[in-house]
Structure 1
C-alpha cells in the first residue's frame, strides 16, 4: 500500500536528512523509459475550479460516472491503489484510454466515438457552466493547463483542464456550452543517458471541435474542424474524442519536475503579511512585558512590602482574588478533555509542519499530507490523555476513569460524526468524494486500536504524576464577583476583540489555503505556513494572558473557561470569514453544495478553536502559577 510506503519513506528521511534534501519524496524512485515504451496515463475525479472569478461547486464526480460518457480503456477501467489520505481527499484514480509511447508523436488519434443522450447532455452542460475541471496524470504527474494570474499576470500551471468552454476566442458566449473533445498534449522528457528518458512535464490544450460534422460513417474524425461541439438537450449528439501527443526535450531534471506546479505567487504578499503579523505579535508581547515587568512586579513589591509592615492593609487589584484564582471552575471534566484534545492537535500540527518543511509532503505523493496528519494524531493520543488527566487532577477532579474514556471518545466522536454526516450528503449527491465504507472502517480501527489505548496509557501516566501544584490555596467560601461595568471585559466582547487579533495573524495563509482547496493552484508555501502558525500561537498565548490579567484586576476570577475561549476565539472570525469567502468567491447551487461547504467550514473552525484554545489556557495557567508564587500570602 502507498500509505505504508509513505511511512517507511518518513523513517528513511529521518535517518538520512542529507540525502532526503535532494528529493521531494524520500525513498521514491524515478521511472526511466526507453524509446517505444508505453507511458501510462491515468484519470482522477472531476472537481470544480475557479477558472474565471467564482468557484461554483464543492462536489467531486468520478471520471467514469456514466453521465459523462467518457471513453474507457479496453477491458474497462482499472482502479489504482491509493493511500488513506488520498482517499479522504476524494482522489479516485483509474487507468486511462490514452496511450502514450515514448518519443512517438501522435496526431489526431481517436479514443472512441459515442452518442451522448439529451439527459446526459444536460448534465454535462451544467458541469461546464460550473467550470468543472478534468484531471489526467502521466507517469504520476498532473496534466496541466497553462494559465496566467489575473492580478500579477504570472504564468502558472493549473491542475486539470476545463471540461468545456463558455465563450469563444472573441469572448462571445456559447449557448449551449462547447464540450472539449480534442486534446493537444505536450509531454516534456529529460534524457538521462543513451536510450533512457524520464517524464518531467505535461501540458494540455483542450479544444472543442465538431469533428464528426460531414464525416461519413467509418471515416476518421476531422481534427481540423473549425466549428465547436455543442451538446443538444433535445436530441442525441455524436461525439468523437481525439488527442494528439508531441514530445519535447527538456533540461529540467526529474528531481525538480514539480517546481513548475509548486510556484509561490508573489512571495512579497506573504512576507508583508508575516511582517504585519510579527508587528502585531511584537506589540502584544511588549504589552504583556510591560504588564508583567512593570505592573505586576510593582504590585508584587507593594504587596510584599505591605505584608512586612505591622500595619494591616487591605489587598487590592489582582491580589484581592488570590484565594479564588485557583478555585476549580464549572465542568472541569469537559474543560480538561478539550485541553487534552487541543494539545494533541498542537503536537500533530507541529510534527506535520516539520515534515512539510523538510520536503516530505510534496503533492508528488498524493494524500501524504492527510496521511501524516491522521497517523500523527493517532500516535499522539498519549499526549491528549496525559494533559487531560493532569489538568483534571489540578482542577480537583475525582472521576478519573470517566476522564480517560471521554478524552479518548468525546472530541473524536464529534469530528467523526460531522464527517459521517457530510459523507451521507456526498453519497446522496452522487459525488466521488464520498469516503468508502472500508476507509471509514480503517479510520475507526486506527481510533480504537491505536489512539484509545495510547490515550489510556498517557492518562495513567498523568494520574500517577499528579496535578500541577498551586502556590495559593482557594478560600473555603467563594468571594462575590462584582458587576463588570467595563463592556470589553464581558465574555462575548472580550472574546471578539481577542479573536480578531488572533485571526489577523493567520488571515493571509487562511485565504491561500481556501483558494487552494477550491481553486486551481497547489498550496506549497509551508515555510510561510509554519511561521504563521508560530505567530498565531504566540498571539493566542499573549492575548489570553493579557485579557486574563484585566479580568483578575476587575476582581473576576473565573478565568479557566474564559482563557480557553479567548485563546480559541479566532475561530469565530475564521467562520465569519468563511461565510464572507462563500459570498464573494463561491456560487454553490443546490442544497448539497451549501451543506458541504458549511460542514467543512465548521470542522475547520472546531479544530482551530480547540487547538489555539488549549494554547491560550496552558499559557495562562503557567503565567498565573508563576505570578501568584511570587507574592506572600498569610
Structure 2
C-alpha cells in the first residue's frame, strides 16, 4: 500500500523474499487507490464465524446469502491463506462517490435447511468480515431476543438490510462502516420455507483526513490512556524485577565471589582438603602441610566456596550432548527469528488488519535462518567432541519442525472435517513444502558444514579429571523441578500483564500495535531469564553439584511452561472460546509456541550460565 512504502522498503532490505510472497495484505484492483466518481470499487466478502471462536471461520457463501452469478475469488498471498482469509467478489455495488438508497440486492426463497443454517449461525453470534479498498469492515448477521413469561423463549432474527457509510477525501477512500437496520428483521426461529429480501444502501461523506492516516483509527483502542497506563505498569513491574535480580546477582559477584577469589589466589589452594585451616611451611624445595583442627569458620567457608572443589568436573561434557546441541541450535534460530520479527514490527510492516504479513514473515524468515540453527548446533556439538555431526544436524532440523508438523497435520484434519477456512488448500501446502525443501534444508546443511569446519575448540579454563566426583545428596528444593519452578516464576511475573493483550490480539479481536512496549518487555524478559539462571547455576555449583549443563537450559526455558499454564487460565477465565475445533487449535498451536519459547529462553539461560561458569573458573586459575 502506498501509505506504507517507506516501511515496506526497509522491510525488504531486511528480508527480500517477503515481497515474493506478498507481504502487503489485501490489495484492491486499483494499484494507487485513486478513483473517479462513479468508478467501481470492489467489495470483497471474506469469512463468517462465531465471534468468540476466532479460528473457527467459514467461507461467506457457506451461508445461503445472495450469491453472484459468477463467484470470483481474489488471488491471495501466502500469509492471507495461512490467516484463514478467503476473499471473493461480493454482489454489492459501491461505486465511488455515488449514494444509493434501499437498493435491492436479491430476493431469495429459503428452504427449511437454509433457515436452520441461519438460525444456528445467529445463535452462535456469527459475524461477517469484508474488505473495501483494503479497509476491513464487519458486523453481525442477526440477533437473539428473549421472549415469554420468564424470558426463557428465544427468538432468532436475521438482518435483511445493511447500510454502508463511506468517507472519502477527494479521490480516495478513507473510512467505511456498515450498520444493520433493526426494523428489517426476518424471523428464522421456526423451520419453514420463507422469502427473504436482502437490501443495502450507501451514503458517501467527504472528510479532510489524509489517506496516510486512514489506518490510525484501528490502532486507537490499543493506545488509549488507560491501556497505556496498564502497559507502562507492566514495564515498571518488569523493571523492578530486573533491578531486584541485578542487585541480587551483584551481591553474589561483588561479595561472595570476590572473597572466594582472594582466598584462592594461590593455585595450590584448589587442591587443599576441605574444612581445614592450613599452614604452609617451605623446607627447601618441598612444602610441609601442617593441619589444624576443624572449626566453624572453615565450615562456613566451605559452604560458601564449595563450587571451587568441583573445578575438575564442572566442564565434564554432559549426557545427550547431541540433543543439547540441537536444542541450542533451534533456540538460537528462534531467537534470531524473534529479533527480525520485532524489526519488521517496529518499522511498521504489521499495521492493523495486515496480519497476513506476520504469517508470511514467520515462514520466510524461519526458512532463511535455518542456516543459523545448523551452524550453532554442529559447531557446539563438535566442541563437545561429538563425531556423528550428520545425525546431530538431522536432529536439529526436526527438533522444532517435527512437533509443529505433527500438530499441523492433526489440526488441519480437524479444520477439513469442519470445512473451515483454517484448512490449508493443497497448493499452499505444496508451497510450504517447497520452501522447506529448497530453502530450509539446504541452508541447514550449509550451516552445519560451516559449523563443522569452523574447528572451534571448547574453551575450558580448567582441566577435567579422569573420574567424576560424587555429587552429595541434596535437599528436595535443589532438585531439577523445584529449581525450574523458581527459575520460571520471576521471568513470567515480568511479562504476564502484557500476555493478556497479546492473547486478546492473537485469539480475539483486539488490535495490538504498541510493538515498542512489547520489545522493551521482551528485552526485560531476556535479562531476567539470564540473571535468574546464572544465580541458580551458582547455587548449584556451590552445593558441589557439577551437572549444570542441562539444568541451566531447563531452568532458562521453564518460563515457556508457565506461559502454557497461563493458556489454561486464559481459556477458562478470560475468554468465551468453546467447541472442539477452537479448543484444539488454541491448545495445539499454543503448545508449539510455548515449546519454541522454551527452546529460545533455554538457550539464553544456558549461554548466560556458560559465560558465568567460564568466568569464575578462569578467575581462580586452578592448575
For residues 106 and 376 of structure 2, the distance between their equivalents in structure 1, rounded to whole angstroms, comes to 61
**CA-to-partner distance for each residue in 1:485-511, whole Å, 9 max, x for gaps?**
1x3322111111221211122212221
- Where in structure 2 are the equivalents of 1:79-158 lying within 5 Å? 79-143=73-137
Matched, 1:61 2:49: no
**CA-to-partner distance for each residue in 1:548-583, whole Å, 9 max, x for gaps?**
111111111111111111111111111111111111
Q: Which secondary structure does the structure 1 equivalent of 2:219 belong to?
A: coil
Work out whether residues 157 and 189 of structure 2, in 8 Å CA contact, stay in contact via their aligned partners in 1.
no
| Partner residue, 1:206 | 180
Q: Tell me: CA distance 1:110–1:366, structure 2 relative to 1, closer, same or farther (3 Å).
A: farther
Matched, 1:184 2:141: no
| Partner residue, 1:304 | 265
Matched, 1:438 2:432: no
Q: Tell me: CA distance 1:329–1:306, structure 2 relative to 1, closer, same or farther (3 Å).
A: closer
Farther off after superposition, 336-345 or 405-414 = 405-414
| Partner residue, 2:566 | 577
- 1:504 is matched with which residue: 490, 493, 511? 493
Q: Which secondary structure does the structure 2 equivalent of 1:201 belong to?
A: strand
| Partner residue, 1:155 | none
- 2:373 is matched with which residue: 384, 405, 416? 384
Work out whether residues 57 and 130 of structure 1, in 8 Å CA contact, stay in contact via their aligned partners in 2.
no
Work out whether residues 218 and 352 of structure 2, in 8 Å CA contact, stay in contact via their aligned partners in 1.
no
**CA-to-partner distance for each residue in 1:115-143, whole Å, 9 max, x for gaps?**
33333333333332332220011101012
| Partner residue, 1:220 | none
Work out whether residues 48 and 518 of structure 1, in 8 Å CA contact, stay in contact via their aligned partners in 2.
no
Q: Quote how far apart the aligned CAs of 1:428 are.
A: 0.7
For residues 111 and 253 of structure 2, the distance between their equivalents in structure 1, rounded to whole angstroms, comes to 74
| Partner residue, 1:483 | 473
| Partner residue, 1:528 | 517
Provide structure 2 residue ranges, at least 5 long, that are not aligned to the other structure.
16-23, 270-278, 281-288, 292-297
- Where in structure 2 are the equivalents of 1:318-397 lying within 5 Å? 318-363=307-352, 365-397=354-386
| Partner residue, 1:222 | none
Q: Tell me: CA distance 1:82–1:473, structure 2 relative to 1, closer, same or farther (3 Å).
A: farther
Work out whether residues 129 and 166 of structure 1, in 8 Å CA contact, stay in contact via their aligned partners in 2.
yes
- 2:143 is matched with which residue: 165, 168, 193? 165
Question: Taking structure 2 as the reference length, what is the TM-score of the superposition?
Answer: 0.87
Q: Quote how far apart the aligned CAs of 1:588 are.
A: 4.3
Work out whether residues 146 and 154 of structure 2, in 8 Å CA contact, stay in contact via their aligned partners in 1.
no
The number of residues matched between the two structures is 574
Work out whether residues 156 and 189 of structure 2, in 8 Å CA contact, stay in contact via their aligned partners in 1.
no
Q: Quote how far apart the aligned CAs of 1:360 are.
A: 2.1
Question: Taking structure 1 as the reference length, what is the TM-score of the superposition?
Answer: 0.85
- 1:277 is matched with which residue: 231, 238, 245? 238
Q: Quote how far apart the aligned CAs of 1:633 are.
A: 1.1
For residues 76 and 9 of structure 1, the distance between their equivalents in structure 2, rounded to whole angstroms, comes to 37
For residues 12 and 328 of structure 2, the distance between their equivalents in structure 1, rounded to whole angstroms, comes to 33
Q: Quote how far apart the aligned CAs of 1:177 are.
A: 2.4
Q: Tell me: CA distance 1:334–1:14, structure 2 relative to 1, closer, same or farther (3 Å).
A: closer
For residues 102 and 329 of structure 1, the distance between their equivalents in structure 2, rounded to whole angstroms, comes to 69
For residues 42 and 165 of structure 2, the distance between their equivalents in structure 1, rounded to whole angstroms, comes to 15
Provide structure 1 residue ranges, at least 5 long, that are not aligned to the other structure.
16-23, 50-54, 144-159, 192-196, 211-227
Q: Quote how far apart the aligned CAs of 1:100 are.
A: 0.6
Q: Which secondary structure does the structure 2 equivalent of 1:114 belong to?
A: strand
Q: Hey, which of these two has a bigger chunk of helix by percent? A: 2
**CA-to-partner distance for each residue in 1:9-37, whole Å, 9 max, x for gaps?**
4565669xxxxxxxx99x99641111111
Q: Which secondary structure does the structure 2 equivalent of 1:120 belong to?
A: helix
Farther off after superposition, 422-431 or 596-605 = 596-605
Q: Tell me: CA distance 1:312–1:436, structure 2 relative to 1, closer, same or farther (3 Å).
A: farther
For residues 6 and 398 of structure 2, the distance between their equivalents in structure 1, rounded to whole angstroms, comes to 28
Q: Which secondary structure does the structure 2 equivalent of 1:78 belong to?
A: coil
Work out whether residues 48 and 57 of structure 2, in 8 Å CA contact, stay in contact via their aligned partners in 1.
yes
Whose radius of gyration is greater, 1 or 2? 2
Work out whether residues 390 and 467 of structure 1, in 8 Å CA contact, stay in contact via their aligned partners in 2.
no
For residues 86 and 327 of structure 2, the distance between their equivalents in structure 1, rounded to whole angstroms, comes to 35
Work out whether residues 125 and 176 of structure 1, in 8 Å CA contact, stay in contact via their aligned partners in 2.
no
For residues 495 and 290 of structure 2, the distance between their equivalents in structure 1, rounded to whole angstroms, comes to 49
Q: Quote how far apart the aligned CAs of 1:442 are.
A: 1.3
